[in-house]
Structure 1
Amino acid sequence: MELSFFEFKRLMKEISDELVDSRIENVYSMDDGSIILKLKKDNDRYELRISPGRCMFLVRGEYQKPPKPSETITKLRKILNNSIIVKVELLEGERIVIFELQRPYAERLNLIIEFLPKGTLIVTDSSGRILECLEKLLMKDREIIVGKEYKPPPRRRIITSTQDVEQVLESIDKNRKIVSALAIEAGLGGRYAEEVAYIAGVEKSKKFSEISIGEYEKIRKAIMRVLEEIETGKPVIVESKLEVYPLPYLPESLKLRDLKVIQASSFNEAVRIAYEKNLTYEAARETLEKIEKEIKSLNEELENKHKTLEKLKALSSQKRSLAKFILTYSSEIEKLRYAEPPGEVRIDELMVRVDKFSRKISISSSYGEVQLTLNESIAKQASRIFDEAKNIDSRIDELKREADEIGEKIKKLLNRREHLVVEKLETISAKITRGKMNWYEKYRWFYTSEGFLAVAGKDVSSNHALLRRHLEKEDLVFHSEVRGAPILILKKGADSTERSILEAAQFAACYSRAWKEGLQYISVYYVKPDQLSFSPPPGHYVPKGGVIIKGEKKYVTVKLEIAIGVEDSRLVWGPSQTLEGRTTRIIKITPGKERAKELAEEVIKRIFGEVEDRKKKELIEDIMKIIPYGRGSITKH
């Protein structure tokens, strides 16, 4: 899994801001040969995983590390620890990333990572002298050796942006084939060179000297389009039988192929997921190969049994039909015993031949042939053919049971394969940590269609905490007179319109017991903060978490319905009108009997499609929290 220059360009655009001003806390080497820089920026911690010669990515979380560092890593720690990343640069036209580091009270250093075929990691001083490297490399045009001056590879004239396209195309060797020239001389790489030829509709085996002016223009436009898609497209992870690889967008040339495609929230995330999955498959390869071999063998056995079943079904049907005809015309056939001279006679669909010398009766029809004897009644012999069909049917039933057993074995092996991958992925993957939570994320919340924050309590205790800590004079407070109803605050609700008030009331209604009881509509009231009192009048009692409402309550009647959608790859929720215009993929849920986990899986299937295992697990947990009382029903549009 190697990234191209253009893919690195997209990656650096995504992660550079987070890298700059980060402090390197520590350096680790991993079992697969990759290096991890443990970073801290403000209160956030990250890990930059670097696989020289292949790729890198940034993760908010941490990996499980080997216990003992190597000698080289110990040296790197002495040089790099506590350095601040002040600048990150992708060398133009090359898969080389340069980090400019500021050490405490010392000169600046350069950390250089080469993602070329002979990948390595190099540390130089400000003059370019190599202080440390992962391994010594001797090449035709340069050397990577401690003490020597670092020199990048000789500069090639390749496409690095849309501005270079015209010039590079003019300089290409016209005797080269289109894809080869675009991949190597233009620097697009094989995948994007193939994509350009596909979009342009030009035969890829043609040489540049053989194409027309019109085809040349199509190629130029296709290159521009591909570069734009790499820069701004929606990232995906593509799984084939051979590997898992990240792409900054799904190329047109891959859309018709039999590939599993998973959407990713960013290209950095796509790189991480693909990298971890490839490590997982590598770690589990031996066991997976045994499982695949067993599945293949069982599938072949199953296919043979199905073929045998079809043959036996046809044979049973033929015997029954033939026996039926013989039984129907048994009297006419019996008379032929005494026919003179014996010979061949047609009786309806049956052709009957009597041979008195061998005392045989041969009967043929579209259902097959059979030989009967003159020594026994025809009806009795027809009955025996029926018995043969029954015996075949018994064998068919037996084969069906065997086929079902094989099917169950295959199912178990497929589950075992899936669980093996998930288990390995759990041990190999980074333990992702979520960013710092906003105060309202401890509660139930959403934003109204007008942009007002609505926050609801989850129980008596959080209702009380919400009012005590976060209620302000510009807010509105919502509640319903249904047991178990939450308190909801519409922040700055005094400035909102009826639209936001109805949305806040609907959200509050959904998390009352009215949902559990299967009601469709209920009334919710709202009041101003100065109408609330936590202290009862003399002689009265307020239960724990309770409040007293003074003055007039304003009531609205709302439908119990919550909507879930996706916006910019993020889960969004709230009353359906709050999601309109933000996303076209909206699932509406009303009170019902289906379990939250089943609903969550269906929601993911409808609005996200294929999702990577760990992401799916997180989404299921998040969606289950949204569904009131753990049950509901998806509405049919």
Structure 2
Amino acid sequence: SIGEVANRFFEGAKRFEEKLKGLEEAMKETRKRLEELEEKKVELKVKEIKRRKREWFEKFHWFFSSENFLVIGGRDAIQNEILFKKHLEKDDVVLHTDIPGSPLTIVKGGKKASEATLREAAIFTASFSRAWKYNVVPKVYWVGAEQISKSPPSGQFLPKGSFMIRGKRNFVKDLELRIAISYEEINGDLRVIYGPEDSIRRKNKRYVVVVPGEERKEAVAKKILKLLGVNLDINEIIRALPSGGVKIENEDRVRGN
């Protein structure tokens, strides 16, 4: 009868409404749980960031030479300007390439450095220049801090990140594009270190060497993390890699093993 049909319809609608109410409650609980997880995720990130106090030079590209000279290079034109204005001192040595897109590299106290440190700084400068992307070794030279300025010849203009070099340029020959990646312990925490192979070998016998290639930095960073076999921040590894395609030299093993 019509009454029975209506009654069945009503009962079905009632059950559907109850299920819908239960679904809404479940969704509400899920949203609440997701928000709690997101808050915990943020807390963990904050703890990770605060866990290790970073040195001032870690915002730039950096390494310590085999003679323990600090070498720093700009990641872009803005950082090149900052290095020139805030961190260049009279006893420093500056390195640059003969092509645009090069870091301004400073060897702190570099006037006392030997040829070994200057060569390492030159490899570093070449590897973090735009030349890496094209797998072409640029010419790299060094000058004293007093030879570099922001004062162009009369009537000329210097764009941001560009500098005037006056006097003799000392070119470093027979360079190659290659960077070693490893780690060191700082106050109980692990820090990614990178630079020319000779400088890294002095700090840690276990390291990976990267050269220009076709792979993305993120993919290579994961491989490096696995090869080194220690708990490192993968973002630090990515920041340590030159811009452009990369590949690991001898992917099946870690140097020093």
Normalising by structure 1, report the TM-score: 0.31
The answer on whether the counterparts of 1:522 and 1:559 sit within 8 Å (CA) in structure 2 is: no
Other structure's SS at 1:590 match: strand
Give the structure with higher Rg (CA): 1
The answer on whether the counterparts of 1:488 and 1:504 sit within 8 Å (CA) in structure 2 is: yes
The residue number in structure 2 matching 1:95 is none
Specify whether residues 428 and 441 from structure 1 end up closer, same or farther in structure 2 by C-alpha distance, changes over 3 A only.
Answer: closer
The answer on whether the counterparts of 2:132 and 2:244 sit within 8 Å (CA) in structure 1 is: no
Shift of 1:529: 1.2
* CA distance in 2 between partners of 1:582 and 1:442 (Å): 20
Pairs within 5 Å for 1:94-493: 426=41, 429=44, 431-432=46-47, 433-493=50-110
* CA distance in 1 between partners of 2:103 and 2:45 (Å): 37
Q: Deviations over 1:182-201 (max 9, x none)?
A: xxxxxxxxxxxxxxxxxxxx
The residue number in structure 1 matching 2:165 is 549
The answer on whether the counterparts of 2:71 and 2:106 sit within 8 Å (CA) in structure 1 is: yes
* CA distance in 2 between partners of 1:591 and 1:467 (Å): 28
Other structure's SS at 2:139 match: strand
The residue number in structure 2 matching 1:272 is none
1:538 matched to 2:171: no
Shift of 1:555: 0.4
The residue number in structure 1 matching 2:123 is 506
Specify whether residues 542 and 604 from structure 1 end up closer, same or farther in structure 2 by C-alpha distance, changes over 3 A only.
Answer: same
Other structure's SS at 2:212 match: strand
* CA distance in 2 between partners of 1:629 and 1:532 (Å): 26
Gapped regions of structure 2 (runs ≥ 5): 1-36
Gapped regions of structure 1 (runs ≥ 5): 1-421
Other structure's SS at 1:525 match: strand
The answer on whether the counterparts of 2:102 and 2:126 sit within 8 Å (CA) in structure 1 is: yes
The answer on whether the counterparts of 2:95 and 2:141 sit within 8 Å (CA) in structure 1 is: yes
Pairwise CA RMSD of aligned residues? 2.2
Pairs within 5 Å for 1:7-18: none
The answer on whether the counterparts of 2:96 and 2:104 sit within 8 Å (CA) in structure 1 is: yes
* CA distance in 2 between partners of 1:427 and 1:524 (Å): 43
Out of 243, 247, 252, the residue aligned to residue 629 of structure 1 is 243
Specify whether residues 582 and 543 from structure 1 end up closer, same or farther in structure 2 by C-alpha distance, changes over 3 A only.
Answer: closer
The answer on whether the counterparts of 1:479 and 1:525 sit within 8 Å (CA) in structure 2 is: yes
1:596 matched to 2:217: yes
Shift of 1:429: 4.3
* CA distance in 2 between partners of 1:586 and 1:630 (Å): 21
Q: Deviations over 1:251-282 (max 9, x none)?
A: xxxxxxxxxxxxxxxxxxxxxxxxxxxxxxxx
Specify whether residues 472 and 429 from structure 1 end up closer, same or farther in structure 2 by C-alpha distance, changes over 3 A only.
Answer: closer
1:561 matched to 2:178: yes
The residue number in structure 2 matching 1:526 is 142
The answer on whether the counterparts of 2:98 and 2:138 sit within 8 Å (CA) in structure 1 is: no
Shift of 1:603: 0.6
* CA distance in 2 between partners of 1:460 and 1:512 (Å): 12
Aligned residues: 208
The answer on whether the counterparts of 1:624 and 1:630 sit within 8 Å (CA) in structure 2 is: no
Identical amino acids, percent of aligned pairs: 36
Shift of 1:439: 2.6
Shift of 1:425: 6.9
Shift of 1:447: 0.7
Normalising by structure 2, report the TM-score: 0.74
Instruction: In structure 2, give the amino acid aligned to 1:548.
Output: M
Shift of 1:561: 0.5
Instruction: In structure 2, give the amino acid aligned to 1:545.
Output: G
* CA distance in 2 between partners of 1:634 and 1:460 (Å): 28
Shift of 1:464: 1.3
Shift of 1:540: 2.8
Other structure's SS at 2:138 match: strand
Q: Deviations over 1:269-302 (max 9, x none)?
A: xxxxxxxxxxxxxxxxxxxxxxxxxxxxxxxxxx
The residue number in structure 1 matching 2:28 is none
* CA distance in 2 between partners of 1:446 and 1:515 (Å): 18
